Homo-oligomer: A and B are copies of this chain.
């Protein structure tokens, strides 16, 4: 069978990555993007664990997904508890997700030393939990925890665990290489043994990169008969990280003749990699396979003509096949055609302005070199396009602003109050307004002052709410003199949009993103986008 199902765990296992925390809005935007990319299953989180995940499962049900199915994650019922009585399983059902993924133990020592129960009771827990969820009409994925260590220690017991899940009706049994220590030849051999023991059962694979072999382990399992691959975007995950699902997808499509998202969607690979990294507030490492900025960058001595004469010698795959570009350009907007397509997605028709496309591309490159990034800032990109087409009329113009932050130290280490005050002088509809806002922080004070100044002319701004505010320091190793990039997400109760600001001064960068967020919101209303 040539079709391999893709199962993304960025929102659950990926969020275990040190330094990554996703807001609810981030998670929903990632779902939207992965769905459009053609991922088959998107694991959303633990519905039992915290209010954010519960809210996620509520919100995601209202999203019109094209292709992907949402999975809720949990575990088998507790020892000594009937599946029907188990709170965790009830939470999975209540989440409303069509897919339930439950993890269960398959390593004998884990059962006796960590779970502290009998091998038979563990089999009962697996069987009853899968069977219960199937009776609720759910698609059930059984994650066989520590399967490879378990198989090496006691192959009969490990097999009896996955057999129990299979007989209870699990739609997929995903073998988990939990501590990340296995090598490809072991994974391939053991996966083949399971495929032989459970003919007809769909199998999956879930790996971690602790031995530097997560991608190869996953591919070895596919060669052994596994047809569902789990991973996270960019390999985000705890310790050394999970399998990078994007690299696996590219390897399967380009080198193993398997079908996942298909060659057309594959061209979005680099863009998806960057989008999710931005949402996680980290960068795609420059040397990341397929999607890194250096992945198709060639050293100085190699000339374009040599590459043109014999590209296969220098590039293992055409960079366009994964949406990356030769040399150093790191943008989904690298070529004219992709810019025109992207603009169309933003409601801006560039096809009637062919003569301006090159100038727009040049301007985007110039701004990217200065620190801008439009991956998650469609609002700012739309404004930039409109400006180039002469179709942009600012709703207000700034004369000046001044922000004052006053702090008076007192003794308590946690209880201090710095106050911020922002005064802006602004021109709206031919009149000049001076407004002062206060806030706990300087950006809140600026936001308040701006809304006061333009609220009389544009009462619609009351509906626009800043829901996300991210700061990235670029060139971090120049300390406090570094360039700051601020990305703001704004919502008007129906849609949300991102805008970006860049400056050496964090306040000014925030102001720029703030202005774009309001300008774009007003433009949307005028154009009848809502």
Give the interface of A toward B (CB within 8 A). Answer: 16-19, 21, 23-26, 107, 109-110, 113-114, 146, 149, 178-185, 209-213, 215-217, 219-220, 223, 235, 238-241, 244, 247-248, 250-251, 255-256, 281, 285-290, 292, 294-300, 306, 309-310, 312-317, 329, 366-367, 370, 375-376, 397-409, 414, 416, 418, 420, 439-444, 447, 465-474, 476-477, 479-482, 484, 503-508, 510-511
Contacts and interface: CB of A to CB of B under 8 A. Distances in A.
A145 B18 CA distance: 39
Contact of A300 (B16, B185, B398): B16
A238 B479 contact: no
A286 B503 CA distance: 28
A401 B419 CA distance: 11
Contact of A405 (B247, B471, B505): B505
A443 B398 CA distance: 24
Given A240-B294, A313-B114, A184 B184 contact: yes
A289 B503 CA distance: 36
Contacts of A107: 313
B473 A470 contact: yes
B440 A505 contact: yes
A301 to B, nearest CB: 9
Nearest to A444: B480
Given A476-B469, A479-B468, A482-B469, A247 B441 contact: no
A215 B510 CA distance: 40
A26 B375 CA distance: 23
Contacts of A18: 286, 294, 297, 299, 329, 375
Contacts of A241: 287
5 contacts: A110-B313, A241-B287, A366-B414, A407-B507, A441-B503
B114 A476 contact: no
Contacts of A19: 286, 375-376
Given A310-B113, A505-B420, A508-B407, A469 B465 contact: no
B238 A299 contact: yes
A473 B473 contact: no
B504 A479 contact: no
A509 to B, nearest CB: 9
B507 A418 contact: yes
Contact of A441 (B238, B399, B505): B505
A481 B444 contact: yes
A442 B219 contact: no
Given A18-B329, A468-B473, 8 more contacts: A19-B375, A179-B312, A179-B315, A184-B220, A404-B404, A418-B508, A468-B479, A471-B473
Contacts of A298: 238-239
B400 A408 contact: yes
